[in-house]
Amino acid sequence: MRMVFRWFGEGNDTVSLEQIRQIPGVEGIVWALHDCLAGEEWPMDRIMNVRDQALRAGLHTEVVESVNVHEDIKLGLPTRDLYIEKYVRTIEKLAQVGVKVICYNFMPVFDWVRTDLHKRMDDGSTALFYEKVKTTDTDPSELVKSIMNNSDLSMPGWEPERLAHLTALFESYRDVTEEDLWRNLGYFLDAIIPVAERCGIQMAIHPDDPPWPIFGLPRIMTSQANLRRFLQLHDSPANGITLCSGSLGANPSNDIIAMIHEFAERIPFTHIRNVRVYDNGDFIETSHRAQDGTVDITGIVKAYHNVNFAGYCRPDHGRHIWDEECRPGYGLYDRALGIMYLWGAWDTLERTKQQSEKRNLS
Ligand code: CS2
Ligand code: MN
């Protein structure tokens, strides 16, 4: 398991590369050119700039998250070919600087959605919270406005440029069904996966967060059956999954351990984090510790260990603790604690295995 840490870039993140370097066992950053809008081709000089910065801090840049997919591709519009061409060129450039995995998602309009970015918990920390009723009964523009009022940072999937066209975007998805989305995803994969194969890159789709339709928009990366269908849509080792336990775990009927066993060969990248799901479907992001939420984090680490997982791993979101001011979900402290929890579980399994191998030899 190769530990990495998400970094939003100079001036765009409260966490520094030097701090990341000091978290035990972290080898690289998970990065993106966050100000390149979906559909834009990434400029080579800026790509190299991030690579060089990271290298100077002793960190690699092998994992990119995300190269965002233009809505016209998800909608299957005639203009999609143009955006796919640009996407392909970005993949090729990233390969040139040694990128190995590209995470992306195929969620219509929004990326991840929460209804409160600073929900106060009993211990005084705050965390990202999702109140189900607000994504069924609220006007999405109102929700977005109320959330953005609390944040002066542009977040992935919530870029002001995109949100300014929210009504038009919703209109264009009015007649798009889940089957349409599958078809459009298949078309996209048929175009990009051969390029990824040729470049030695693994594409890794991120599950939908939360894993169900919101505001009437279809979502398909939601369950074990759908992930299976996704892998078959274009059957290639370059067509993989970013298995995110927090996203999938928001639906308690998702058996993440079973997914790890079934899809192991096709998981180049994992996000491990916990959530606590309530009976009414609301959920809050918690610490990574298994007891703090409803996702079996130690069981998940054990499953990865069983399948000899050698891919990249990052803690996903963290709570906001110790008065840290940071991007919602992306502070230093709680994610670093998360990493140490994951290492604790992993190293115990690893040492136990080594000891028993030694015993068997003697
Ligand atoms: C991430 C997603 O910050 C997060 O919630 O898990 O934004 C993720 O980066 C994208 O969905 C991947 O494309
Ligand atoms: Mn994730």
Q: Is the pLDDT of residue 331 over 60?
A: yes
Cis omega before residue 207 (within 30°)?
no
For tokens 């609301």, the residue is: 282
The tens digit of pLDDT for each residue in 11-20 reads 999 999 999 9
The arithmetic mean of pLDDT across residues 205-215, rounded, is 94
pTM over the 0.85 mark = yes
Smallest-distance ligand from the CA of 269 = 2
Number of H helices, E strands in the chain: 13, 12
Residue located nearest, by CA, to atom 5 of ligand 1: 112
Which value, in Å, is the radius of gyration of the alpha carbons in the chain? 20
What mean pLDDT is reported for the chain?
93
The pLDDT, as a whole number, for residue 158 is: 67
Give the model's confidence band at 150: pLDDT under 50 very low, under 70 low, under 90 confident, else very high: low
66 CB under 6 A from ligand 1?
A: yes
- Does residue 316 carry a catalytic annotation? yes
As a residue count, the chain comes to 362
- 244 C-alpha to center of ligand 1: Å? 9
User: According to the model, what pLDDT value does residue 313 have?
Assistant: 98
Does the pLDDT at position 153 exceed 70? no
Order of all β-strands in the sheet with 275-277: 116-120, 126-130, 283-285, 275-277
Point out the ligand 1 atom lying closest to the alpha carbon of residue 157.
7
- Condensed to tens digits (0 to 9), the pLDDT of residues 276-289 reads 999 999 999 999 99
Cα of 339 from ligand 1 centre, angstroms: 18
pLDDT band at 300 (very low <50, low <70, confident <90, very high): very high
Cα angle value 199/203/207 (rounded, 5°): 175
**Which pLDDT value is given to residue 165?**
78
CATH value of 2-361 in 3.20.20.150, 3.40.50.2300, 3.90.79.10, 3.40.50.720: 3.20.20.150
**For residues 338-356, average pLDDT:** 96
How is the chain split into domains, by residue range?
2-361
Q: Does any ligand 1 atom lie closer than 6 A to the CB of residue 105?
A: yes
Q: Does pLDDT of 215 surpass 80?
A: yes
206 is catalytic: yes
Is it the case that residue 315 has pLDDT exceeding 60? yes
Query: Do residues 140 and 168 lie in contact, with contact meaning Cβ atoms separated by under 8 Å?
Result: no
User: 7: Cβ below 6 Å to ligand 1?
Assistant: no
Please give the distance, rounded to the nearest whole angstrom, from the Cα atom of residue 270 to the centre of ligand 1.
Answer: 12
Whole-angstrom Cα distance, residue 44 to residue 32?
12
Specify the residue with its C-alpha closest to ligand 1, atom 4: 112
Task: Say what the pLDDT of residue 154 is.
Answer: 53
pLDDT tens digits, residue range 177-199?
Answer: 999 999 999 999 999 999 999 99
Residue 151 clears pLDDT 60, i.e. is over it: no
